[in-house]
Structures are given as structure tokens and as C-alpha cells.
Structure 1
Amino acid sequence: MSKLSNLKVSNSDVDTLSRIRMKEGVYRDLPIESYHQSPGYSKTSLCQIDKAPIYLKTKVPQKSTKSLNIGTAFHEAMEGVFKDKYVVHPDPGVNKTTKSWKDFVKRYPKHMPLKRSEYDQVLAMYDAARSYRPFQKYHLSRGFYESSFYWHDAVTNSLIKCRPDYITPDGMSVIDFKTTVDPSPKGFQYQAYKYHYYVSAALTLEGIEAVTGIRPKEYLFLAVSNSAPYLTALYRASEKEIALGDHFIRRSLLTLKTCLESGKWPGLQEEILELGLPFSGLKELREEQEVEDEFMELVG
């Protein structure tokens, strides 16, 4: 994985990334803000294309939520930069609408302010993750955090990018840090499918292989509950998940190619469709029908 350090970006470069043609490769020192501003289609882009291509032509600012902020802080705790970037208000019961809080924010313009309860929450999640026995073998002190990968898709020639949370020193394992309400197998499986984590897995494995010539052996999700008792679990993306992600990527990129060639960025379908039931609804319907059939046999 020597190629993980083959490219570096200086501070003087990051402001112009959105205006230049990114070279294929790995950018280890690229700030997250510059990654988002830089050219290239990411997992988020592919999901937007799948939903409706017009999203790529519509700038919708991401709303800041407490859950999102805590998730970001947890990622930075895992990376080891949390205490450098965040400050905690001295009053444990402070309200964020008060003058005291607003003055505190102004006093630390280069830091992210947190309430004491939020600060303690992030550290508790961090401690739970680092003490989780199956996770301890992955040598987090010696791997690669937040490396940005850029490559061109072989079919559409589109510039693609990804930014894995962590890659082990040998390059064989990728770990995606996830905060969640429910880290249990059933709960996290639902979350992973809903938010297209399988696309992240497939795209990241493809990107690392495209840039370095080496394909990691596994893609893992470290799921940590965002509330006490901060349950933690480690899941491996299955071959079926990655295969589904590969199909999703190919379909989205072909749609992108069509849009770029035609100059048309459609929204949703312009026809009336039958709504139908989701998979869980179909399963429930089958179960209800089975119960009804058994009842009719008993009374029939």
C-alpha cells in the first residue's frame, strides 16, 4: 500500500481543487471540506442519480443536526484529532440559544463547540469502540485515516472519488465508522440497506484497487450506539452486498453518461405507477394470508 502516500496536497492547493482537473491517485492530507468541493462523483452523487438525476443540478445544503454533528465528532475522535478540534462549554447546563453559548462560540472561531453532555457522549462512544475486543486487532494507531482516492471509471471515463474512514497498515481491511441508534444485527442491517452502505463498500473497494492495484480483502462496519450503554458491533460486508453495490454503481454511472450526452437531467417518472408494497409489506401480507387460510380450514 505504498501508493497511499504517493500524493500530498499543500495548503496552498486546497482552495483551487474545485477549479482544477484532479489527478488520479491518493491524497492523504486533503481536508474534508476540500474533498467535498473537489471534482468527482462520490457515493452521495451516485445515490442522487439513482433517486433522480436532477439532484446533481440542484444545490441543496446539508442541514446540520445533533445526530450528524455527534457522528462527525465520533469520526474525529477515532482519527485522534477530536480534542484538537472541539471545545466544551464550562457550564454543563448551558442552553444553546443563550448569550453565554453564542459568546462562547465567538471566542473559539477555529473550534467546534460542544455541551458537556455531548463531549462526554463522544468520548464514551470512542471508549466503547476502542475497547471492543474484535476491533482491537486492527492496529488503529498505524493505519491510514481519511485518505481521498480519485480514479476514472473504465466504462464512462467519469472521475470518481471516495474517502474511506480507515485502512489497516497492510491495506487488506477497510473500516467504516458508523454511529447508530440500534447496532444489533437486525437494526443495523436495516440502516445499512436504507442508507446504501453496500454502495460505499463496493465503491471504496473499487477505488482502492483502481488506484493502488491492490484490492482489500474485507470491508467492515464498526457500528457504535449513540446512547448508553454504547453497544458496539463489527460487521463484514458480504459478497452479496458488494455485488449489489457494484450493480448500483454501474447503473448510476450509465444514467450519468446518458445525462451528460443528452444534457437532460430528469426528475421522477412522468407516468402514473402502481405504488405496491415494500418487501416487508409483502412478507406481512403473505403471513396474514397464511393465518387466514388456516382459519378457513378450521371453520370450513
Structure 2
Amino acid sequence: MTELSGVVYDLPNAAYHAHKSLSATGAKTLLKSPAKYKYAVLDGNKEYKASFDLGSAVHAKVLGISGEVVVLDFDSFRSNEAKVARDDARDAGLVPMLRKDMSEVDAMAEAVLGHMPARKIMEKPGRSEVSLFGEQIGVPLRCRFDRLPDEGHIVADLKTMSGDATPAEFAKAAARYGYDIARGHYLDLLERVAGRTAEMLFIVVETEPPHLVNVIQLDREFAEMGEAKALAARDIYRHCLETGEWPGYPETVSLARAPHFAIVEYQERFGENA
């Protein structure tokens, strides 16, 4: 495989994901457990979900990336023939979509491009799906921007969301899926590779009609946590590579703390003033 470094345009999706470097998704998995990272990435057991394909298809449509989506004429993916066609597409680095589901993709893309703040961001002179490759503390790194303007301090990341695209609900999703880590990983690599400082805005589109759209920025505290987590993941990655050890959970008895919502619910129902 050709060595990649710096800013790379027009890199095929399969070539990007095949590169042996730490991505934002890898960083999120490492922070859960190095053993999970080894299983999913190093051992080649990456999980595929239909929601991933839907999000990727919407990305391709909004970003104007042709050739990434394969439209298949099956009623579902239940038949062996359909499964083979789906898996062949994925093996080629493409996104398999049923023709009947493309109307939903089109509707979501139209919603994004019909949302004036989102459209202004997407229409700024720049490039889509820009790949960056660099390193820190000897750890090879990569990221892939949905939209990287030629100038300015705003970069865009497009997200599909099954729930409400409100700031409160997006904050929950960001915490659950590590969007703060992705922000820290991407913006740090952008500064290291291209010498650019930027802020990331998330263009969020709901998967359910009428496909409402919101442009959301993580607050300073959220951003700082993500930056620290992204750097911590690199330390873990380097240590695992050096030692050859990819640990799972601690081999001790762990304490599960009652979450705040459960405490509040208990106090409301069973407290002295209930």
C-alpha cells in the first residue's frame, strides 16, 4: 500500500479505511477497551449495521460524492443472493442500498440542502471527504473531514440521528457515541498536518420525516473533554503496540454507581417529602 501523509484529496473510501493508522472511531473503541479495538480492527471483526449504510448514503448524496453507493434491486437483504450482493459491495468499499430506501436518502439530503445555515456551510468553497494523515508520539493517525473549506475556521461534520436533533438530545448522542472524541481527534490532526485551527459544527438531520435539521456546536467543556480523551487514546494505543497487550476490563470487582436520574427518581417516589 502506498504510504500516505499530509492532506489527501479524492482518496477512495476503501483505501482510507484500509490504512494502518488510528482513526477517531478507533480512538473511541480503545477508550472502551483495547481488547475491543483489537477484536474489531486488528482482527478484522468490524460490525456493520443498516444504520451505518443509511448514514453513509446520505453523506454521499449531500456531499456530491458519486460512485460510493450501489443501488440494489431487491425487496430486502433476506435472500442469499441479496446478502451476497450486499457483502460484495461492502468488500469493495461501497455502500449497498435497496432501491426502495433511496427515497428516504433523497429526502434527508434535500432537507439538509434546504436548511439555510447548513447549506451556507456546505456551499463554502472547499472539498468533501478530505483525508488527513499524520502522527503524534509515534502513533500514526488519520481522519476524514466531511467538508473542509479552503479558508476560514469552520469545518463540518454531517450526522444522521434517529431521535430529535435538539441540542439536549444531540448532547446525549455525542456522549454515547464519542462525537466529542472525534472533534478532538480531527481538529488536533488538522492543526498538526495543515497548521489550521478550526471549530467543528455538526449538521444533524433526523432520520424520521419531516427530517428536521439542526446545526450544533459542542460547548467548551464538552470540547475540552473530547480533546483530552483523543490524546489519552493515543497513549493507550502506543502502550498496547509496545507491549503487545490489549487488555479488557479490570480483573477486579467493579463498583456500579447509581446514575443521577435513578437517584432523582428514587427521591421523588420514596423520599421523605414524596
Moved more, 133-142 or 170-179: 133-142
Cα deviation digits, residues 122-143 of structure 1 (max 9, x gap): 0000000000122122243632
- Correspondence list, 1:79-98, <5 A: 79-82=63-66, 85-87=69-71, 89=73, 94-97=75-78
Paired position in structure 2 for 1:3: none
Task: Please tell me whether the aligned partners of residues 208 and 214 of structure 1 are also in contact (alpha carbons under 8 angstroms).
Answer: yes
Which of residues 131, 135, 160 is equivalent to 1:148? 131
Question: Aligned with 1:294: secondary structure?
Answer: coil
Separation in 2 of the partners of 1:273 and 1:139?
46
Question: Aligned with 2:123: secondary structure?
Answer: coil
Cα deviation digits, residues 247-277 of structure 1 (max 9, x gap): 1122222222322333322111010111222
Paired position in structure 1 for 2:267: 289
AA of the residue aligned to 2:143: C
Paired position in structure 1 for 2:35: 54
Paired position in structure 2 for 1:125: 108
Shift of 1:174: 1.0
* Unaligned 5+ runs, structure 1: 1-15, 296-300
Task: Please tell me whether the aligned partners of residues 138 and 238 of structure 2 are also in contact (alpha carbons under 8 angstroms).
Answer: no
Paired position in structure 2 for 1:137: 120
AA of the residue aligned to 1:75: H
User: In the superposition, relative to structure 1, how do residues 241 and 256 fare at CA in structure 2: closer, same or farther (>3 Å)?
Assistant: same
Paired position in structure 2 for 1:78: 62
AA of the residue aligned to 1:130: L
Separation in 2 of the partners of 1:252 and 1:84?
30
AA of the residue aligned to 1:143: G
Paired position in structure 1 for 2:253: 272
* Unaligned 5+ runs, structure 2: none
Identity of aligned residues (%): 25
- Say which structure is richer in strand: 2
Separation in 2 of the partners of 1:140 and 1:95?
35
Moved more, 248-257 or 125-134: 248-257
Shift of 1:75: 0.6
Shift of 1:234: 0.7
Question: Aligned with 2:105: secondary structure?
Answer: helix
Question: Aligned with 2:222: secondary structure?
Answer: helix
Paired position in structure 2 for 1:188: 170
The higher relative CO (CA closer than 8 Å, separation ≥ 6) is in 2
Separation in 1 of the partners of 2:68 and 2:53?
16
Shift of 1:113: 5.4
User: In the superposition, relative to structure 1, how do residues 140 and 214 fare at CA in structure 2: closer, same or farther (>3 Å)?
Assistant: same
Shift of 1:50: 1.2
User: In the superposition, relative to structure 1, how do residues 99 and 35 fare at CA in structure 2: closer, same or farther (>3 Å)?
Assistant: closer
Shift of 1:83: 7.3
Separation in 2 of the partners of 1:103 and 1:259?
36
Q: Which has the larger radius of gyration?
A: 1
Task: Please tell me whether the aligned partners of residues 77 and 83 of structure 1 are also in contact (alpha carbons under 8 angstroms).
Answer: no
Aligned length: 266
Separation in 2 of the partners of 1:139 and 1:263?
43
Question: Aligned with 1:201: secondary structure?
Answer: helix
Moved more, 139-148 or 94-103: 94-103
TM-score computed with the length of structure 1 as normaliser: 0.79
Separation in 2 of the partners of 1:171 and 1:53?
36
Paired position in structure 2 for 1:222: 203
1:207 aligns with 2:186: no
